[in-house]
Amino acid sequence: MRRIPSILGDPCWTVCLVGEEQSGKLAQVTAGLRHGPDPSGSGKRITSGFSYWGLESTVAWAHACNDLYYPVMRESIGSFSRRWRAMTQTLPDGPLHYVSLGPGTGQKDQALLRYLDSRGRSGCYIPVDVSAEMLRLAQREALEHLHVPPADVLPVQLDFSMPANLDRLCALIRHAVGDEPVVFSLLGNTLANFDNDTQLLALLAEKLLRPQDRFLLEVASTAGQDEAAARAAAHEYENSPRFREFVTSALMQYTDLQIDMNSLTCEGLVEDDRALKIKVVYRNRTGGPLELTLPDRSTVPFPDQDTIRLLLSRKYTPAGLEKMLVDARVTKVGETHDVGHAAFDRPAFGLALLMLQCADAAPPPAPRAPGPNPFRD
């Protein structure tokens, strides 16, 4: 292990810590596609994370983020540096370690790391994602032109939505950083992709956050919540050819379905008073039954008008966001809201960037030296 740092100086190499058995992830994908028929988009599904799992999906996502017809993510990336700078006064003092949950293309991580690097406050950088390909893409982009030592970069391939995985991740982080403060992040409206979004935020806060830590959360927001607003939210996704290629890439990877882009729809719904919910579904419109072959070579029926949910997203109302934070037992120590201009056919959609800490935060303990880094000499 002492020889690894010299190897990491070559950008062609990436060291990745694999935190779970990958064959089990393939079984999860297969289980999601075995659900019974449901024309509403609540049956068969590719659950969050697996939409990005694999080389084809990673490349398709990178292309979608640069699509002029997909403003949701493009504007989120373009404005992040400015919004992040408004959060920096809420950071703890001293060196900071950064744990990025779902780093995406790495461009937002670069903005955060560049700030820490320019002030001599950089600690470890630990990107965490279910996709090894996404980790490699994100790490390359995040560290470009920065001075983060290779030995301080620990990519972790892990599904952070599972409690047992979070326990292992927490143990790794504590060993690496000791009692020094950590900034965790969940950016790009990733939280909205999960069915149980509030439960996930509560789980992350419970398992990961200590009083000295901070949690940077980015979510999409809406100023209105009615059927017209829901249709307008869905329309944002439908307009992008690159986004459509991205969401169907997982379907092509895990099934033998012949993809017809006309069978892909984005459906906007009002989720109580908390959010606009967007389901991206693939519907069998052939007029007859089909049969899907899954990764384990088994087959499942795909009747006419049955659906496969490819992606779930949300835009949160102010009240819905506040309630989610209370239920997750986290409090805001800083926030910015970017709200777009309302149009005649839709309300103002925007982005909220929140700096959070655990609700029962007490004064942090005296610093304890971190354990030895296995990637250092």
Residue-wise DSSP of 93-109: SS-EEEEEES-TTSHHH
**Residue at 62: amino acid letter:** A
DSSP state for residue 193 in the 8-state scheme? G
Long-range contacts, 4-13 (Cβ 8 Å, 24+): 4/151, 4/375, 5/149, 5/150, 5/151, 5/375, 5/376, 5/377, 8/150, 8/151, 8/153, 8/375, 9/150, 11/140
133 pLDDT more than 50: yes
The whole-number pLDDT of residue 355 equals 97
Q: Which is it for the CA torsion 254, 77, 230, 262, positive or negative? A: negative
The whole-number pLDDT of residue 68 equals 77
The region, left, alpha or beta by phi > 0 then psi within -120 to 50, assigned to residue 90 is alpha
- pLDDT, tens digit, for every residue of 288-300? 999 999 988 999 9
Residue with tokens 């909220």, as numbered in its chain: 352
As a whole-number percent, the residues of the chain with pLDDT over 70 amount to 90
The whole-number pLDDT of residue 8 equals 59
Tell me how far CA of residue 74 lies from CA of 116, 118, 128, 142, 239, in angstroms: 24, 25, 22, 17, 14
Q: Residues 348, 317: contact at Cβ < 8 Å?
A: no
11 pLDDT more than 80: no
Confidence tier at 240 by pLDDT (50, 70, 90): confident
Residue 217: which residues within 8 A CB-CB, separation 6 or more?
185, 186, 187, 191, 201, 353, 354, 356
The whole-number pLDDT of residue 377 equals 47
Q: Which residue has the higher pLDDT, 242 or 148?
A: 242
Residue 46: which residues within 8 A CB-CB, separation 6 or more?
29, 32, 33, 250, 251, 254, 308, 309, 310, 311
125 pLDDT more than 50: yes
308 pLDDT more than 90: yes
Q: Residues 125, 138: contact at Cβ < 8 Å?
A: no
Query: Residue range 235-263: average pLDDT?
Result: 91
Rounded-to-integer distance, Cα 198 and Cα 191, Å: 8
**Residue at 211: amino acid letter:** P
Q: pTM of the full predicted structure?
A: 0.90
The whole-number pLDDT of residue 3 equals 56
Rounded-to-integer distance, Cα 126 and Cα 22, Å: 20
* SS3 state of residue 236: helix
